[in-house]
Amino acid sequence: MQARLDQCQALVQTCFDAVLSPLGDTNVEAGMRYALQGGKRLRALLVVESAALHEIPSIQSVWSAAAIEAMHAYSLVHDDLPCMDDDDLRRGQPTVHKRWDEATAVLVGDALQSLSFELLSRPEVAESSQIRVDLLASLARASGAQGMVLGQAQDIAAETSEAPLDLMAITELQANKTGALIEWSACAGAILGQASPAPLRAYAKAIGLAFQIQDDVLDVIGDTDKTGKAVGKDQDAGKATFVSLLGLSGAQGRAAKLVDEACAALDPYGNRAEPLRDIARFVISRET
Amino acid sequence: MQARLDQCQALVQTCFDAVLSPLGDTNVEAGMRYALQGGKRLRALLVVESAALHEIPSIQSVWSAAAIEAMHAYSLVHDDLPCMDDDDLRRGQPTVHKRWDEATAVLVGDALQSLSFELLSRPEVAESSQIRVDLLASLARASGAQGMVLGQAQDIAAETSEAPLDLMAITELQANKTGALIEWSACAGAILGQASPAPLRAYAKAIGLAFQIQDDVLDVIGDTDKTGKAVGKDQDAGKATFVSLLGLSGAQGRAAKLVDEACAALDPYGNRAEPLRDIARFVISRET
């Protein structure tokens, strides 16, 4: 799995290099390059593998993969801001507002969102402009006030609320906050292949939730050296998490069940979907 | 002119109402509606009039007009943040971070940017998906790290720099910060009409600069009751402006000359471009 993620990383980097100015004259451009470094590229791999399932070569799907990684990177830069989650460390490095300043971090995030849509509007994404519009429209919805931003707002509301969230509320929050972009990534291959996204959507909903449960598990049993971010933070803040609500082994059991569901959702694709099933299993075995 | 702007306002509001949830359940949705209220709708009118010049009816062009107003509104919300320009008042009302808080303002801006691309990807924008992709691609470029965000970064760098900007540097800064979206607005009609955007681009470059000169003039001679924002701010901050560099009457003369250039750039369209020439003249006569 790591080899595939590394390969994906190399591919999306070629896209970033093609569209970002090589010198990074301003702090904003330097900050964009910085924020785009070192992620797992899980969303990119979901795009590439779901596209491969529909016989779209990676040299094409990588442009959509780069677009979702830019969108994800923007969300992290803004989420780390002092007025949001106030994190100093991300992917093992100082966050953008620590490395530069808050204004630069706001602008870097803003520009990465623009970059995401710019990447997705390029001719390399798909010869058909209808397919590009479909991808653009669905990404705009997934990232906006009915998707990722809604989840971030729900997360912030939860932090200031008296009563901790229950399981249903936290599941909905995470379906928005991290689920929406993961779902877009898995469905992108179906859009590129002009196929029904239904099986991939069911798969993505399950792994999106499993991914977040594993994040909560790693916040308890993880290692800052490996996760590249502070651990124990949610627990210390008395925040409701899947672990606080289900217990550690309960959460791990739930995540494993979700991975089984995700794999089963791909039955219509048979053995050809094995790379996507590998990703599902990776989601709960990862240590970072 | 005010009647046309008001009509434009009513039209774009129907688009916002169609895509924003009616209740505004969360602070983010309420903040989005709030931030979309009460602008001049100058950019929207540029889209509608440049489209009319290419025989695109306003019922169609208004979707592109709404998209650029959402993009503009996002830029204002983020620009007003304490870590950026730190403004308490906008369009005569408390800024989003004063009315709610900084986290909400970051998310409202983020969601308005998504909304802009969502609006522009809708089928109502143009039957041809190629035209929609062309509009999306050019807006992504105009708003990003080579356009508006670059101008904002240059503006912030200038504030912390020892030496005030010279005329060339401030002209370049403004061409990015406010010029890029104004240029997109005027060129949108040509893209919708599949015509050459060259005359509209020359027109837009001139009025974009005239617009910013008038902003600097209003910062000196304007009235907070009319402008809806604090005046004298740039002067107090010792910031280089067109007025500090050219003097008040020098700046006003330069703006008037730019309006003449803008009107002349529309010669290929003859009298049919009179509505756009009216906008050019309005840009330097406005008091808000």
Looking at chain A, which residue has its C-alpha nearest residue B78? A106
Torsional sign, CA B53, B58, B64, B66: positive
**Cβ–Cβ gap A21/B118 under 8 Å:** no
A189 DSSP assignment:
H
Give the span between the Cα atoms of A99 and B149, in whole angstroms.
Answer: 19
Q: Which residues from A are below 8 Å from B144, CB to CB? A: 111, 114-115, 118
Q: Which residues from A are below 8 Å from B154, CB to CB? A: 26
Helix count and strand count (H, E) for chain A: 16, 2
Q: Residues B2-285: name the CATH superfamily.
A: Farnesyl Diphosphate Synthase (1.10.600.10)
Name the band, by pLDDT with cuts 50, 70 and 90, for residue B194.
very high
Of A99-113, A176-190, B223-237, the poorest mean pLDDT is in: B223-237
ipTM score of complex: 0.94
Give the span between the Cα atoms of B246 and A171, in whole angstroms.
Answer: 59
pLDDT of residue B286: 81
CB-based contact B282:B233 (threshold 8 Å): no
Of B1-5, B228-232, B256-260, the poorest mean pLDDT is in: B228-232
Rounded mean pLDDT, B68-73: 98
Question: Structure tokens of A209?
Answer: 């939730």
Instruction: List b or e across A202-212, with b for residues whose CB sees 16 or more CB atoms inside 10 angstroms.
Output: bbbbbbbbbbb
Nearest to A44 by CA among A82, A5, A77: A5
A201 and B CB contact within 8 Å: no
CB-based contact B153:A26 (threshold 8 Å): yes
Best interface-test mutation with A: which of B34, B106, B172, B173 has the largest number of A CBs within 10 A? B106
pLDDT digit string, tens, across residues A90-148: 988 999 999 999 999 999 999 999 999 999 999 999 999 999 999 999 999 999 999 99
Count of CB atoms situated within 10 Å of the CB of A144: 24
**Cβ–Cβ gap B145/A103 under 8 Å:** no
Report domain extents, chain B.
2-285
How far off is chain A from B140, nearest CA to CA, in Å?
Answer: 5
Q: Which residues from B are below 8 Å from A137, CB to CB? A: 118, 121-122
pLDDT of residue B231: 67
Kind plus residue range of the DSSP H or E element containing A175: none
Of B114, B128, B143, the CB nearest to A149: B114
**Cβ–Cβ gap A21/B146 under 8 Å:** yes
**Cβ–Cβ gap B117/A140 under 8 Å:** yes
Question: Structure tokens of B133?
Answer: 């992709």
The alpha carbon of A41 is separated from its chain's Cα centroid by a whole number of angstroms, namely: 8
Burial of B231 per CB tally in 10 Å (0-12, 13-18, 19+)? middle
Question: Structure tokens of A133?
Answer: 């519009």
Count of CB atoms situated within 10 Å of the CB of B150: 23
Average of per-residue pLDDT values in chain B: 93
How far off is chain B from A141, nearest CA to CA, in Å?
Answer: 6
**Cβ–Cβ gap B110/A113 under 8 Å:** yes
Give the span between the Cα atoms of B173 and B179, in whole angstroms.
Answer: 9
Best interface-test mutation with B: which of A96, A106, A177 has the largest number of B CBs within 10 A? A106
Give the span between the Cα atoms of B158 and A137, in whole angstroms.
Answer: 36
pLDDT digit string, tens, across residues A10-66: 999 999 999 987 666 788 999 999 999 988 899 999 999 999 999 999 999 999 999
pLDDT of residue B221: 87
**DSSP characters over A36-86:** TSS---HHHHHHHHHHHTTT--HHHHHHHHHHHHHHHHHHHHHHTSTTTT-
**Three-state DSSP state, A160:** helix
Looking at chain A, which residue has its C-alpha nearest residue B143? A114
B132 and A CB contact within 8 Å: yes
pLDDT of residue A139: 98
How far off is chain B from A56, nearest CA to CA, in Å?
Answer: 21
pLDDT digit string, tens, across residues B78-114: 999 999 999 999 988 999 999 999 999 999 999 999 9
**Cβ–Cβ gap A106/B115 under 8 Å:** no
A114 and B CB contact within 8 Å: yes
Task: Judge whether residue A228 has pLDDT over 80.
Answer: no
pLDDT digit string, tens, across residues A232-285: 676 667 778 999 999 999 999 999 999 999 999 999 999 999 999 999 999 999
pLDDT of residue B160: 80
pLDDT of residue B227: 67
**Cβ–Cβ gap B111/A157 under 8 Å:** no
Mapped to the 3 state alphabet, what secondary structure does chain B carry? CHHHHHHHHHHHHHHHHHHCCCCCCCHHHHHHHHHCCCCCCHHHHHHHHHHHCCCCCHHHHHHHHHHHHHHHHHHHHHHCCCCCCCCCEECCEECHHHHCCHHHHHHHHHHHHHHHHHHHCCCCCCCCHHHHHHHHHHHHHHHCCCCHHHHHHHHHHHHHCCCCCCHHHHHHHHHHHHHHHHHHHHHHHHHHCCCCCHHHHHHHHHHHHHHHHHHHHHHHHCCHHHHCCCCCHHHHCCCCCHHHHHCHHHHHHHHHHHHHHHHHHCHHHHHHHHHHHHHHHHHHHCCC
pLDDT of residue A46: 98
Looking at chain A, which residue has its C-alpha nearest residue B109? A110
Give the span between the Cα atoms of B132 and B118, in whole angstroms.
Answer: 11
Give the span between the Cα atoms of B207 and B55, in whole angstroms.
Answer: 23
Window 20-39 of B: residues touching A by CB (8 A cutoff) are 20-21, 26-29, 32
Question: Structure tokens of B118?
Answer: 């969502």
| Terminal-to-terminal C-alpha distance of chain A | 13
CB-based contact A49:A70 (threshold 8 Å): no
CB-based contact A191:A243 (threshold 8 Å): no
Burial of A1 per CB tally in 10 Å (0-12, 13-18, 19+)? middle
Name the band, by pLDDT with cuts 50, 70 and 90, for residue A231.
low
Rounded mean pLDDT, B245-254: 95
CB-based contact A133:B129 (threshold 8 Å): yes
Count of CB atoms situated within 10 Å of the CB of A221: 12
Task: Judge whether residue B73 has pLDDT over 80.
Answer: yes
Of B103, B118, B146, the CB nearest to A141: B118
Q: Which residues from A are below 8 Å from B113, CB to CB? A: 110, 113-114
pLDDT of residue A101: 96
pLDDT of residue B272: 97
pLDDT digit string, tens, across residues B22-47: 666 788 999 999 999 988 899 999 99
Rounded mean pLDDT, A77-86: 95
pLDDT digit string, tens, across residues B125-138: 999 999 999 999 99
Task: Judge whether residue B10 has pLDDT over 90.
Answer: yes
Looking at chain B, which residue has its C-alpha nearest residue A144? B111
pLDDT of residue A286: 81
Count of CB atoms situated within 10 Å of the CB of A114: 26
Give the span between the Cα atoms of B66 and A6, in whole angstroms.
Answer: 41
